[in-house]
Structure 1
Amino acid sequence: MKSSSTFSNLYIRRVKRKKPVKKIITIIVIILTAVIIAALAAIPPLVMKEIIHLHVDFEEKSPSDFGVEAEEVWLTTEDGIRLISWEVKAHDPKGIVIFLSGIHNPSVTAFFGHAKMMAENGYSSLLIEMRSHGRSEGDKIYIGTREYLDTKAGVEYIKGKPEYGDVPVIVFGVSMGGATAINSTGEIPDIDGLISLSAFSTAQDLFSDTMIGMGVPPVIAAIQKPFVKLYMGFEYGFGSLKINPLDEIKKLNGRPALLMHSTEDSQVPYSSFERLIAAVPGQIETFVRVGDHHFVCRDECFKEPWTDEEYAGAVLSFLDKYFGD
């Protein structure tokens, strides 16, 4: 009986010893998980902070270099930001095109060649230097979540000019400007048409796609998406997260849209284009160029875009189809 009792006591002691081990393992797992989550959460601010917390200064192009006349126009957004813009007029315009450029370059004045092409084909232009760029005010880039207010200021300026009357307003943007053009169309009913080049579907998609392009495993890259969204919520306000191209493009409500992209775009991967067109199947027109052409128009033709006949033809035929006489 004594031997049996001793065996039972030893067994009980062994069982009791297992509990601290399990507890230690659980604590270690929790700590490691917390460290991994903290490391993942730290990546978006480390990468994005230098991209968005700045004012972009760059050289403005002169309209005379492109053979056009342009009038400087100062706009004020509803949140109090003053923006420089340029108006290029066409005689008896069929429409007016608002131009928006990218996140860091070039100045929207690089689109004076496009404005010339528009004027020669019966369309006026308003080239808006978005907030935190060039002579426009601001010291923070909002990745399209607030820049739609810049477009809105331009639309209000146009609608306030009697000579434009019921002239259609088309917004044309590239890269972040393309994303902003989509957001603007979704948020501003007075916009009649959309031309968007190399736009990202969402900022978190762009972040994840870029990581994959750098060789990061897709699973790891996908894990970053909620952390990018979280960081943007703290930076811009969580209410602003609903302003994104993937959701805003669903608000076209029958308005014509042309989306353009290149298959090997190294700045905004083609997958963003695929997501955007999948969001509104059969509702938009598309133009796809093979290769890495972030501005879609060939680099050597950008100053005189009409010399890129395929590109210019796609843009002008779209405009004339929906807004021509």
Structure 2
Amino acid sequence: MSHAKTTGQKMWMTVARTAAGAAAIDLAASWCAAYYTFHNDSRKRRDPERVPSGDQYLPYRERMLELIHDLQKRPYEEVHIISDDGLRLMGRYYHQKDGAPLDIMLHGYHGTSIRDFCGGFHIAWENGHNILLVDQRAHGDSEGHTITFGVRERMDCLLWCRYAVEHFGTDCEIWLNGVSMGASTVLMASNLPLPPQVKGIIADCPYDSPRGIIRRTAGQFTIPIAFLYPLVRLGAKLFYGFDPEEASPVQSVAHTKLPILFIHGEDDRFVPIEMGKHVYDACVSEKYFFSVPGAGHCLSYLVDEEGYRNAVCAFQSKVRSSGR
């Protein structure tokens, strides 16, 4: 074997090792990025009394805890469905009266239904509705460890609607409610074959797409977003079996027929109001937008309880009067 051939072989082996090392680093980095973004360990799921820290939440902490404690005292029936991918999902059903409208409520990312709907629950209850508080997959007492930012959760929402019709009858009037990721989830479900019993959607502080909110959240790190997001998406595909760009609220509301009430705090520093307006502008169905000056993320009800209640009641009244 000639010296030149030996040198060439060594060079290609070096290139191959370098490429393999770079690929291994990319895989490791994508796993870490995806794990941080999508994984939720059941041992670390937050309890409903854990109020977010920060100056926006401090003035409303006592009122929020008061509402949470009131909700924790209320009796409920534990109900379950099985997701398309075999997860046992749990909900808390609060019965007020037979034949009453049903509100299905989906909480936010790393949230709990009792905390995130401590205000919305009371509006629905005061209006005589029955209520189903859902533990989204990988949250609370529902199975799973992967949060998909609404991609798979939207299919769970569809199944909860079908469950409601099966158990409460074809005359059941259903309203979908969501907060933060839950708001984006119900919007992403809006173009699915939902039962006709679903009359409308109330979406509080939704983001416009999983891609958009992941990229925005990634901005807090020193790694450039243009580099980090592709790693997150690659990790989602390779290790968690889904594509965060498979669905989005903007795409879904462009094909929905359901009336939608959009709610957003004007000082939301996590999901900026511009995201909510982006989804609103893309919506082709009957739509309304209620914003609350000075309200941070998921704080619109607490900042303006009367205005929030009036907006929800007026929306549902308009939808009913239209004969939908």
What TM-score results when the alignment is normalised by the length of structure 2? 0.73
Note the alpha carbon deviations across 1:244-283, whole angstroms, 9 max, x for none: 212112221x210011112221211223113212212674
In structure 2, the CA distance between the partners of 1:216 and 1:208, relative to structure 1 (3 Å rule), is: farther
Work out whether 1:57 is the aligned partner of 2:45: yes
1:288 offset after TM fit, Å? 1.2
Query: Do the aligned partners of 2:135 and 2:142 also contact (CA within 8 Å) in 1?
Result: yes
In structure 2, the CA distance between the partners of 1:298 and 1:196, relative to structure 1 (3 Å rule), is: closer
1:94-105 correspondence runs (5 A):
95-105=101-111
- Could you tell me how far apart the structure 1 residues matched to 2:84 and 2:191 are? 17
Q: SS at 1:172's partner residue?
A: strand
The structure with the largest alpha-carbon Rg is: 1
Matching residue within 189, 192, 198 for 2:194: 189
In structure 2, the CA distance between the partners of 1:63 and 1:271, relative to structure 1 (3 Å rule), is: closer
- Could you tell me how far apart the structure 2 residues matched to 1:223 and 1:293 are? 29
Q: Which runs of 5+ in 1 are unaligned?
A: 1-30, 302-306
1:320 offset after TM fit, Å? 2.0
In the comparison of the two structures, how many residue pairs are matched?
282
Query: Do the aligned partners of 1:258 and 1:318 also contact (CA within 8 Å) in 2?
Result: yes
Q: SS at 2:214's partner residue?
A: helix
Matching residue within 200, 203, 207 for 2:210: 203
What TM-score results when the alignment is normalised by the length of structure 1? 0.73
- Name the residue aligned to 1:19: none
Work out whether 1:232 is the aligned partner of 2:236: yes
Q: SS at 1:79's partner residue?
A: coil
In structure 2, the CA distance between the partners of 1:309 and 1:79, relative to structure 1 (3 Å rule), is: same
Query: Do the aligned partners of 1:126 and 1:154 also contact (CA within 8 Å) in 2?
Result: no
Q: SS at 1:130's partner residue?
A: coil
Query: RMSD over aligned Cα, in angstroms?
Result: 3.5
1:209 offset after TM fit, Å? 3.0
Query: Do the aligned partners of 2:92 and 2:133 also contact (CA within 8 Å) in 1?
Result: yes
Matching residue within 237, 241, 247 for 1:243: 247
Query: Do the aligned partners of 2:267 and 2:296 also contact (CA within 8 Å) in 1?
Result: yes
Q: Which runs of 5+ in 2 are unaligned?
A: 1-17, 50-66
Higher share in helix: 1
1:1-325 correspondence runs (5 A):
46-53=32-39, 54-55=41-42, 56-59=44-47, 65-66=70-71, 68-93=74-99, 95-105=101-111, 107-110=112-115, 111=117, 113-162=119-168, 164-190=169-195, 191-210=198-217, 214=220, 221=225, 228-237=232-241, 241-252=245-256, 254-280=257-283, 283-299=286-302, 308-323=305-320
In structure 2, the CA distance between the partners of 1:292 and 1:320, relative to structure 1 (3 Å rule), is: same
